[in-house]
A and B are shown apart, each in its own frame.
Chain A
């Protein structure tokens, strides 16, 4: 159990918890979309401090966790080629593919580099014309503007030895898919604040109306998350289903216009597979026709791979809120952050890793309702 004094402003936290407690009259299930929010919730024990009526379902908002297995296997195949220098964000290196991960390719001599910014990969291609530099362009709408700029810059510099393995995912189609699943239990969403700081909030109003579900744009700090929960609960109790922005200090309704313009120049919407969930129509971005010469999948001919998920891992059920991580039999035993069986244990933003890191080993059904 965690305590209020771990909040930056315990008094404000207490007030927010109080109001939530006063307003709630029946059970509600809310989903926080973003992995950063999951992390804040578990670390501060927000789920344990809330009244028992409120259940938090941890959503699929960790890009490392939802990048499809097929893409990881393609990355592994490309990274193993002798002429390739493969660049990736650090979190992706330990993500298990069908049978191994990028670290293994590296230890066997693969030239794999961690980059902080996608522009570092472009610079590397500039410096090493003798190498094929491939950048693993993954992420939600937050990393997409950076990856788009890398494509634009490679084109501008006329680089022939730079390409990207693109696997971008989008939040609004995922919200729609979650709401349309037959066993959907989600009654309100905390939308990912930083995604909205790029794309704006315009796509979310129609979703709230169509699915009659409150959507509150929420930040990442414990107090932000609490405020998002408070606003969602008030909407639900009052029978409203609207879009609200509780992260106005970083999110404007129109988003970041310069970033959106660049995204439209480089990417187009496409169907995309989500690890543990399956294909969601029109839920990702791929390179536009005019930038397809930068497509690493075509350049290295890695299409048509067959993949098999670990038969033990239940990350798909975790990502869709059907089970909590500690309900998985492998959790903390065969599967730990050092020996991850599934992607949700790899990234610090994954739900399984957050539960492990903060010692949540107790299965919900063995203690009854947690308060």
Chain B
């Protein structure tokens, strides 16, 4: 839950008055709140905690971290992609 996963911003939009975006983590795309990084743009990389982009990072370090988490099998757990009781 509090690991923080790096991903790439692929879209930015507004929903219910909040700056939101789509962030891609190794093929998995999630809706992420971008309100705390008002400057971040499509194509940038960010570390995401529980659906919120908190800090911007460079592409290389983001890719390395992602590969590591994927190896450890931590990605699915952190992104809650499994489980029927998950709110979609």
A: residues with CB less than 8 A from B are 8, 35-36, 43, 62-64, 87, 89-91, 106, 112-121, 123-124, 139-140, 142-143, 145-146, 149, 153, 156-157, 194, 197-198, 220-221, 249-252, 256, 258-259, 262, 347-349
| Set of chain B residues within 8 Å of A139, measured between Cβ atoms | 1-2, 50
Does A143 contact B55, Cβ atoms closer than 8 Å? Answer: no
Report which of A43, A89, A258, A259 forms a contact with B50, defined as CB distance below 8 A. Answer: A89
B: residues with CB less than 8 A from A are 1-4, 16-18, 30-33, 35-38, 47, 49-52, 54-55, 57-58, 61, 64-65, 67-68, 72, 74, 77, 79-80, 83, 85-87
Does A146 contact B72, Cβ atoms closer than 8 Å? Answer: no
Does A113 contact B85, Cβ atoms closer than 8 Å? Answer: yes
Does A117 contact B50, Cβ atoms closer than 8 Å? Answer: yes
Does B85 contact A114, Cβ atoms closer than 8 Å? Answer: yes
Given A8-B68, A89-B1, A194-B54, 19 other A-B residues pairs in contact with their CB atoms under 8 A: A35-B2, A36-B2, A62-B2, A63-B1, A113-B86, A114-B83, A115-B86, A116-B30, A121-B87, A139-B2, A139-B50, A142-B54, A146-B49, A194-B49, A220-B4, A250-B57, A256-B54, A262-B36, A348-B74
| Set of chain A residues within 8 Å of B17, measured between Cβ atoms | 156
Does B35 contact A258, Cβ atoms closer than 8 Å? Answer: yes
CB within 8 Å for A149 and B35 given contacts A115-B87, A142-B4: yes
Does A143 contact B1, Cβ atoms closer than 8 Å? Answer: yes
CB within 8 Å for A43 and B72 given contacts A139-B1, A153-B16: yes
